[in-house]
């Protein structure tokens, strides 16, 4: 989460939920003023059961991974 705050410039983190497979946190982007919810899972959880979601999940509210712009 610290990397998101530093590299993407997001702020106002708010935990939306926590379950057995990870934590969902909402962030606000300061320039665009939009909100993004990010699910953070451990690599072990990803290997054990969520890889199929990463590969095949398609939804209008799910955006592809966005990398920070380094200057």
Which residues carry a binding-site annotation?
A: 39
Is-contact 25 40, C-beta < 8 A? yes
Residues of each annotated binding site for ATP: 39
**CA dihedral sign, ordered 51, 53, 56, 61:** negative
């Amino acid at each position: 989460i610290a990397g998101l705050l530093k590299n993407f410039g997001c702020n106002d983190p708010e935990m939306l939920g926590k379950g057995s497979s990870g934590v969902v946190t909402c962030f606000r982007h300061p320039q665009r003023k939009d909100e993004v919810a990010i699910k953070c899972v451990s690599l072990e959880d990803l290997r054990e059961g969520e890889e199929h979601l990463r590969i095949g999940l398609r939804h209008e509210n799910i955006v592809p991974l966005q990398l920070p712009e380094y200057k």
